[in-house]
Amino acid sequence: MPDVATRGLRVCALYPDLMNIYADRGNLLLLERRCRWRGIDFELGSSGLGDELDPEGADLFYIGGGQDRDQRRCAFDLAEVKRDALHEVARRGGVILAVCGGYQLLGHSYRMAGEDLPGVGLVDLITVREDGPRLIGNVAIEVELEPGWRRVLAGFENHGGRTYLRGDAEPLGRVLKGFGNNGRDGFEGVRAGGVIGTYLHGPLLPKNAWLADWLIARSLAVAGPLAALDDGLEEAAHADARRAAGV
Protein backbone atom coordinates (compact mmCIF):
# COMPACT_ATOMS: atom_id res chain seq x y z
CA MET A 1 0.00 0.00 0.00
CA PRO A 2 2.60 2.61 -0.96
CA ASP A 3 0.07 5.42 -1.38
CA VAL A 4 -1.33 4.89 2.12
CA ALA A 5 2.08 4.47 3.70
CA THR A 6 3.34 7.74 2.27
CA ARG A 7 0.24 9.75 3.01
CA GLY A 8 -0.78 8.37 6.37
CA LEU A 9 -3.94 8.91 8.38
CA ARG A 10 -4.72 12.37 9.71
CA VAL A 11 -7.12 12.42 12.63
CA CYS A 12 -8.58 15.54 14.21
CA ALA A 13 -10.05 15.25 17.71
CA LEU A 14 -12.63 17.91 18.49
CA TYR A 15 -12.49 19.31 22.03
CA PRO A 16 -10.17 16.55 23.32
CA ASP A 17 -9.99 18.20 26.75
CA LEU A 18 -13.76 18.70 27.19
CA MET A 19 -15.34 15.84 25.25
CA ASN A 20 -13.35 12.99 26.63
CA ILE A 21 -14.79 10.46 29.02
CA TYR A 22 -14.85 6.68 29.06
CA ALA A 23 -11.70 5.99 27.09
CA ASP A 24 -12.04 8.41 24.21
CA ARG A 25 -8.27 8.72 24.24
CA GLY A 26 -8.10 4.94 23.97
CA ASN A 27 -10.06 5.12 20.74
CA LEU A 28 -7.55 7.56 19.29
CA LEU A 29 -4.61 5.49 20.55
CA LEU A 30 -5.97 2.37 18.94
CA LEU A 31 -6.29 4.14 15.59
CA GLU A 32 -2.69 5.26 15.92
CA ARG A 33 -1.38 1.81 16.88
CA ARG A 34 -3.22 0.00 14.12
CA CYS A 35 -1.83 2.44 11.58
CA ARG A 36 1.74 2.33 12.88
CA TRP A 37 1.76 -1.48 13.18
CA ARG A 38 1.13 -1.50 9.45
CA GLY A 39 3.66 1.18 8.61
CA ILE A 40 0.97 3.77 7.94
CA ASP A 41 1.88 7.24 9.19
CA PHE A 42 -0.46 8.75 11.75
CA GLU A 43 -0.99 12.36 12.68
CA LEU A 44 -3.26 13.53 15.51
CA GLY A 45 -4.47 17.11 15.53
CA SER A 46 -7.13 18.81 17.58
CA SER A 47 -9.66 21.57 17.37
CA GLY A 48 -10.90 23.28 20.50
CA LEU A 49 -13.34 26.01 21.46
CA GLY A 50 -13.15 28.90 19.02
CA ASP A 51 -10.88 27.12 16.53
CA GLU A 52 -11.91 27.19 12.89
CA LEU A 53 -12.07 23.70 11.41
CA ASP A 54 -10.44 22.93 8.07
CA PRO A 55 -12.64 20.32 6.39
CA GLU A 56 -9.65 19.14 4.34
CA GLY A 57 -7.33 19.14 7.35
CA ALA A 58 -7.99 15.54 8.41
CA ASP A 59 -9.28 12.23 7.07
CA LEU A 60 -11.19 11.37 10.23
CA PHE A 61 -12.83 13.75 12.68
CA TYR A 62 -13.54 12.46 16.18
CA ILE A 63 -15.90 13.81 18.84
CA GLY A 64 -15.96 12.01 22.17
CA GLY A 65 -18.38 11.85 25.05
CA GLY A 66 -18.93 14.52 27.66
CA GLN A 67 -20.77 15.64 30.73
CA ASP A 68 -23.79 17.86 30.06
CA ARG A 69 -21.92 20.91 31.37
CA ASP A 70 -18.95 20.48 28.99
CA GLN A 71 -21.23 19.43 26.18
CA ARG A 72 -23.06 22.72 26.53
CA ARG A 73 -19.93 24.76 25.83
CA CYS A 74 -19.04 22.59 22.86
CA ALA A 75 -22.56 22.54 21.43
CA PHE A 76 -22.62 26.31 20.85
CA ASP A 77 -19.09 26.26 19.46
CA LEU A 78 -19.88 23.37 17.12
CA ALA A 79 -23.00 25.07 15.85
CA GLU A 80 -21.49 28.53 15.51
CA VAL A 81 -17.87 27.89 14.52
CA LYS A 82 -17.57 24.41 13.03
CA ARG A 83 -20.94 23.60 11.53
CA ASP A 84 -20.19 24.47 7.90
CA ALA A 85 -16.86 22.66 7.94
CA LEU A 86 -18.44 19.48 9.31
CA HIS A 87 -21.13 19.61 6.65
CA GLU A 88 -18.40 19.96 4.03
CA VAL A 89 -16.60 16.89 5.47
CA ALA A 90 -19.81 14.88 5.27
CA ARG A 91 -20.54 16.15 1.76
CA ARG A 92 -17.17 15.00 0.44
CA GLY A 93 -17.63 11.58 2.09
CA GLY A 94 -15.09 12.14 4.88
CA VAL A 95 -15.34 10.22 8.12
CA ILE A 96 -16.81 11.66 11.32
CA LEU A 97 -17.00 9.39 14.35
CA ALA A 98 -18.96 10.75 17.29
CA VAL A 99 -19.43 8.91 20.57
CA CYS A 100 -22.19 9.51 23.13
CA GLY A 101 -22.13 13.22 24.00
CA GLY A 102 -20.56 13.90 20.60
CA TYR A 103 -23.18 11.73 18.92
CA GLN A 104 -25.99 13.69 20.57
CA LEU A 105 -24.59 16.89 19.05
CA LEU A 106 -24.66 15.53 15.48
CA GLY A 107 -28.43 15.94 15.38
CA HIS A 108 -30.70 18.98 15.54
CA SER A 109 -30.78 19.57 19.27
CA TYR A 110 -30.22 18.17 22.74
CA ARG A 111 -32.98 19.21 25.11
CA MET A 112 -31.77 19.21 28.68
CA ALA A 113 -32.98 20.87 31.85
CA GLY A 114 -35.24 23.35 30.10
CA GLU A 115 -32.66 24.33 27.51
CA ASP A 116 -32.26 23.24 23.90
CA LEU A 117 -28.62 22.86 22.97
CA PRO A 118 -28.08 23.28 19.25
CA GLY A 119 -26.72 20.39 17.21
CA VAL A 120 -24.85 20.60 13.93
CA GLY A 121 -27.73 19.06 11.99
CA LEU A 122 -25.62 16.52 10.12
CA VAL A 123 -28.24 13.83 10.68
CA ASP A 124 -31.97 13.95 11.25
CA LEU A 125 -32.30 13.20 14.95
CA ILE A 126 -33.07 14.86 18.24
CA THR A 127 -31.99 14.01 21.77
CA VAL A 128 -34.07 14.69 24.85
CA ARG A 129 -33.20 14.40 28.51
CA GLU A 130 -36.40 12.78 29.79
CA ASP A 131 -37.46 11.77 33.26
CA GLY A 132 -36.23 8.36 34.16
CA PRO A 133 -32.96 6.71 34.95
CA ARG A 134 -29.75 7.04 33.00
CA LEU A 135 -29.34 4.25 30.49
CA ILE A 136 -26.31 2.41 31.77
CA GLY A 137 -24.82 -0.98 31.05
CA ASN A 138 -23.13 -3.31 28.65
CA VAL A 139 -24.51 -3.13 25.17
CA ALA A 140 -24.22 -5.11 21.95
CA ILE A 141 -25.59 -4.19 18.57
CA GLU A 142 -25.65 -5.84 15.19
CA VAL A 143 -24.35 -3.66 12.39
CA GLU A 144 -24.01 -4.03 8.65
CA LEU A 145 -21.46 -1.44 7.54
CA GLU A 146 -21.13 -3.01 4.10
CA PRO A 147 -23.91 -4.93 2.36
CA GLY A 148 -23.98 -8.51 3.64
CA TRP A 149 -21.16 -7.92 6.20
CA ARG A 150 -22.87 -8.35 9.58
CA ARG A 151 -20.82 -7.86 12.73
CA VAL A 152 -21.49 -7.31 16.41
CA LEU A 153 -20.30 -4.14 18.11
CA ALA A 154 -19.82 -4.52 21.85
CA GLY A 155 -19.44 -1.72 24.34
CA PHE A 156 -20.79 0.15 27.33
CA GLU A 157 -23.35 2.92 27.47
CA ASN A 158 -24.09 5.59 30.06
CA HIS A 159 -26.37 8.39 28.95
CA GLY A 160 -29.23 10.42 30.31
CA GLY A 161 -30.31 11.67 26.90
CA ARG A 162 -32.62 9.63 24.69
CA THR A 163 -32.06 9.93 20.98
CA TYR A 164 -34.79 9.64 18.36
CA LEU A 165 -34.04 9.21 14.67
CA ARG A 166 -36.39 11.04 12.34
CA GLY A 167 -37.23 11.04 8.66
CA ASP A 168 -34.99 8.71 6.74
CA ALA A 169 -32.10 8.71 9.23
CA GLU A 170 -30.61 5.21 9.40
CA PRO A 171 -29.51 3.66 12.67
CA LEU A 172 -25.97 2.33 13.00
CA GLY A 173 -27.30 -0.96 14.30
CA ARG A 174 -29.98 -3.02 15.93
CA VAL A 175 -29.83 -3.52 19.69
CA LEU A 176 -29.11 -7.10 20.74
CA LYS A 177 -28.57 -6.21 24.38
CA GLY A 178 -28.75 -2.92 26.25
CA PHE A 179 -30.71 0.27 25.66
CA GLY A 180 -29.31 1.90 22.54
CA ASN A 181 -30.71 5.22 21.36
CA ASN A 182 -33.64 5.46 23.74
CA GLY A 183 -34.38 2.06 25.27
CA ARG A 184 -37.59 1.78 23.25
CA ASP A 185 -37.25 1.41 19.52
CA GLY A 186 -34.42 -1.13 19.34
CA PHE A 187 -32.09 1.13 17.36
CA GLU A 188 -28.60 2.25 18.23
CA GLY A 189 -26.59 5.07 16.77
CA VAL A 190 -26.83 6.66 13.37
CA ARG A 191 -25.03 6.14 10.08
CA ALA A 192 -25.03 8.39 7.07
CA GLY A 193 -22.18 7.54 4.70
CA GLY A 194 -18.97 8.27 6.58
CA VAL A 195 -20.81 9.91 9.49
CA ILE A 196 -21.20 7.54 12.42
CA GLY A 197 -22.70 8.33 15.81
CA THR A 198 -22.99 5.81 18.61
CA TYR A 199 -23.58 5.57 22.34
CA LEU A 200 -21.00 2.80 22.67
CA HIS A 201 -17.90 3.60 24.59
CA GLY A 202 -15.90 1.94 27.24
CA PRO A 203 -13.84 1.94 24.91
CA LEU A 204 -15.41 1.48 21.49
CA LEU A 205 -12.44 0.81 19.23
CA PRO A 206 -10.14 -1.39 21.37
CA LYS A 207 -13.13 -3.66 21.99
CA ASN A 208 -14.05 -3.66 18.30
CA ALA A 209 -10.75 -3.49 16.46
CA TRP A 210 -12.45 -4.48 13.23
CA LEU A 211 -14.39 -1.21 13.35
CA ALA A 212 -11.14 0.73 13.78
CA ASP A 213 -9.83 -0.97 10.63
CA TRP A 214 -13.00 -0.21 8.73
CA LEU A 215 -12.70 3.46 9.75
CA ILE A 216 -9.02 3.61 8.76
CA ALA A 217 -9.70 2.00 5.39
CA ARG A 218 -12.68 4.24 4.69
CA SER A 219 -10.85 7.39 5.81
CA LEU A 220 -7.96 6.60 3.48
CA ALA A 221 -10.24 5.33 0.70
CA VAL A 222 -8.31 2.05 0.62
CA ALA A 223 -9.97 -0.62 -1.48
CA GLY A 224 -9.83 -4.07 0.06
CA PRO A 225 -8.77 -5.14 3.54
CA LEU A 226 -5.80 -3.63 5.37
CA ALA A 227 -2.82 -5.87 6.14
CA ALA A 228 -3.76 -8.45 8.78
CA LEU A 229 -2.52 -7.95 12.36
CA ASP A 230 -2.20 -10.36 15.25
CA ASP A 231 -5.52 -9.53 16.92
CA GLY A 232 -5.56 -12.21 19.62
CA LEU A 233 -5.84 -9.70 22.47
CA GLU A 234 -8.38 -7.53 20.72
CA GLU A 235 -10.51 -10.52 19.82
CA ALA A 236 -10.37 -11.73 23.43
CA ALA A 237 -11.52 -8.28 24.58
CA HIS A 238 -14.32 -8.42 22.03
CA ALA A 239 -15.37 -11.87 23.21
CA ASP A 240 -15.30 -10.68 26.85
CA ALA A 241 -17.40 -7.68 25.95
CA ARG A 242 -19.90 -9.86 24.13
CA ARG A 243 -20.05 -12.22 27.06
CA ALA A 244 -20.62 -9.28 29.42
CA ALA A 245 -23.44 -8.15 27.19
CA GLY A 246 -24.82 -11.69 27.08
CA VAL A 247 -24.74 -12.22 23.29
The residues that touch ligand GLN, with contacts defined as CB under 6 A, are: 21, 65-68, 71, 100-101, 158-161
Count Cβ atoms below 10 Å from residue 169 Cβ, excluding itself.
Answer: 17
CB of 67 to ligand GLN, least distance (A): 6
CB of 74 to ligand GLN, least distance (A): 11
Query: In angstroms, what CA-CA distances link 210 with 41, 204, 217, 228, 229?
Result: 19, 11, 11, 11, 11
CB of 244 to ligand GLN, least distance (A): 18
Q: Enumerate residues 6+ apart whose C-beta is below 8 A from 205.
A: 26, 27, 30, 31, 211, 212, 215
Nearer to ligand GLN, 161 or 178 (CB): 161
Beta strands 95-99 and 149-159 are: unpaired
CA dihedral 114, 116, 117, 118 (to 10 degrees): -170
CB of 158 to ligand GLN, least distance (A): 5
CB of 179 to ligand GLN, least distance (A): 11
Nearer to ligand GLN, 34 or 156 (CB): 156
Give the span between the Cα atoms of 169 and 224, in whole angstroms.
27
Nearer to ligand GLN, 185 or 231 (CB): 185
Which is catalytic among the residues 100, 108, 159, 238?
100
Element (H, E) at 186: none
> Residue 3: is it exposed, middle or buried by C-beta count within 10 angstroms (0-12/13-18/19+)?
exposed
Nearer to ligand GLN, 118 or 160 (CB): 160
Reading phi first (left if > 0) and then psi (alpha if -120 to 50, else beta), residue 97 is in beta
Backbone angles phi, psi at 214, to 5 degrees: -65, -40
Element (H, E) at 235: helix 232-245
Whether 108 is a known active-site residue: answer no
Nearer to ligand GLN, 46 or 158 (CB): 158
> Residue 214: is it exposed, middle or buried by C-beta count within 10 angstroms (0-12/13-18/19+)?
buried
Whether 35 is a known active-site residue: answer no
Which is catalytic among the residues 108, 159, 201, 238?
201
Residues with catalytic function: 100, 201
